[in-house]
Chains A and B, each alone.
Chain A
Amino acid sequence: YALQGSRWRTKNLTYKISKYPTGLNKQEVDKEIANAFNVWSGETDLTFTRKKGHENVHIEIRFEVGEHGDGDPFDGPGGTLAHAYFPVYGGDAHFDDAERWTIRSYRGTNLFQVAAHEFGHSLGLSHSDVKSALMAPFYRGYDPHFTLDQDDISAIQALYGTKTNSRRSQPLPPAEEDPELCKDPKVDTMFDTKDGEIIVFKGKYYWKLTDNGVASGYPRRISSTWKELPANIDAAFTYRNGKTYFFKGTQYWRYINTTMDGDYPKEISDGFTGIPDNIDAATVWTGNGKIYFYKGTKFWRFDPASKPPVRSNYPKLIQNWEGIPNPINAAVTYKGYTYFFQDNAYYRFNDRQFKVDDANPAFPRSTAYWWFGCKSASRGTLGNDH
């Protein structure tokens, strides 16, 4: 990231929209502009208060066409979308009203994303050369799962410090439903961190779960937290050495928390001899603390302390795990149980009886309802009508 060199002395800033875009509903614009400021107040103690009329404010926002009084004329559709002043020059933000500003649409130019970028300048941030950063200069199209890159967070916190008046001092907002997970609860993988948090990977995004659903502030980009980890991960687990292993295709990565632990990726055949490539799921089974890999109809047991780590009588058939279907998408340990996930359903395994647990409602249950807090999903057993 790059800092221009000036910042506001106060963290409580005011703004007003003196001139609105011609093609959007004013209330909608007010909301999107507030959301754009929230991007920065979410990571610092900055607050942004909207003023109206002729009140003096820190940041004045205007939608203008062509020459608009600052010697930097806009250039019509495309090209320059907007510009902003750094704090030392006043902090104002101007948007080219010749653009087709849109909200939550793949068409036109997304108002929220461009505004959040411009307000970065109004706060003292220059352009970043990290392509995935909000403060990169080029417009990248509408991103329904927009999240700040770590680069942006480091930049704004270098100027205004971390967030201390955080939610921790107030009750956490209720666990939230995530529209994407509620609509399609099939995931790439789930794993528990060494702190016992449950993380869900799907595509290029990840969610942290709470006991009741999805933690607020998610999804985030996998790459913004686990640098150099690709999207569409096959499987992951955290071993009792506190290290988390991620698997994709023929390769695997090892991290301690979110820091890569050595030179990765490596080949699965090197680090997990006897385990195949392109696995479906992996977990440390709560029944014996060994590592289990699942692929198609088969499973392998990997014991780092054994020679060889995978006995010759593996693979065996997943149907040995009575009641567990195959193939599975994910497996995770949570509060002493091992859970298996297939499509929109999940199963809790009873380690002593070595079969799917008896429970009411019986398994399979809806992953969306019980793991992602989707109240609209079925609470009962999936696959039959009661």
Chain B
Amino acid sequence: AVPTNVVISDTTAANYLAQYGYLPPINPENGAFLSEEKLTAAIEEFQAFAGLNITGELNDETAKLMATPRCGVKDKVGPAADGRSKR
């Protein structure tokens, strides 16, 4: 069941967006230097892909969707973010 009121921090959101290809992989050392603009743009891209209102904010419906069970494969897959490489 889709979780109800979900609170999600910017860091958690940034990790989620990185995991699914909306942000470059976050390096633990420099993760803190993610700019506000980059995070907003990534949220907008996620909202666009998921068919949500594109606000760039981590609003309730966006947080709820981020908490929804899903496939682990990235949404943004291309030459740059090449999905998954078998190690």
Interface residues of A (CB under 8 A from B): 2, 4-5, 69-72, 74, 78-86, 89-90, 92, 99, 109, 114, 117-118, 121, 126-127, 129, 131, 137-139, 141
CA distance A384 to B60 in the complex (A): 58
CA distance A114 to B73 in the complex (A): 12
Considering only residues 46-63 of chain B, those with a C-beta below 8 Å from chain A are 48-51
Tell me which residues across on chain A come within 8 A of B71, comparing CB atoms. Answer: 80-84, 114, 117-118, 121, 127, 137, 139
B69 lies within 8 A of A138 (CB): yes
B84 lies within 8 A of A129 (CB): no
Considering only residues 31-83 of chain B, those with a C-beta below 8 Å from chain A are 48-51, 65, 67-75, 77-79, 83
* Minimal beta-carbon separation of B68 from chain A (angstroms): 5
B84 lies within 8 A of A82 (CB): no
Give the interface size class of chain B: 20 to 34
* Minimal beta-carbon separation of A116 from chain B (angstroms): 11
The residue in chain B whose Cβ has the minimal distance to the Cβ of A96 is B72
Given A129-B49, A129-B51, residue A79 in contact with residue B73 (CB < 8 A) = no
Interface of A is mostly: loop
Tell me which residues across on chain B come within 8 A of A138, comparing CB atoms. Answer: 50, 65, 68-70
CA distance A78 to B69 in the complex (A): 5
Interface residues of B (CB under 8 A from A): 1, 20, 48-51, 65, 67-75, 77-79, 83-87
B83 lies within 8 A of A79 (CB): no
B70 lies within 8 A of A81 (CB): yes
Tell me which residues across on chain B come within 8 A of A121, comparing CB atoms. Answer: 71, 73
B86 lies within 8 A of A92 (CB): yes
* Minimal beta-carbon separation of A218 from chain B (angstroms): 27
Tell me which residues across on chain B come within 8 A of A90, comparing CB atoms. Answer: 86
CA distance A117 to B77 in the complex (A): 16
A83 lies within 8 A of B86 (CB): no
A89 lies within 8 A of B86 (CB): yes
B50 lies within 8 A of A126 (CB): no
A137 lies within 8 A of B73 (CB): yes
* Minimal beta-carbon separation of B75 from chain A (angstroms): 5
CA distance A114 to B83 in the complex (A): 18
* Minimal beta-carbon separation of A140 from chain B (angstroms): 9
B75 lies within 8 A of A89 (CB): no
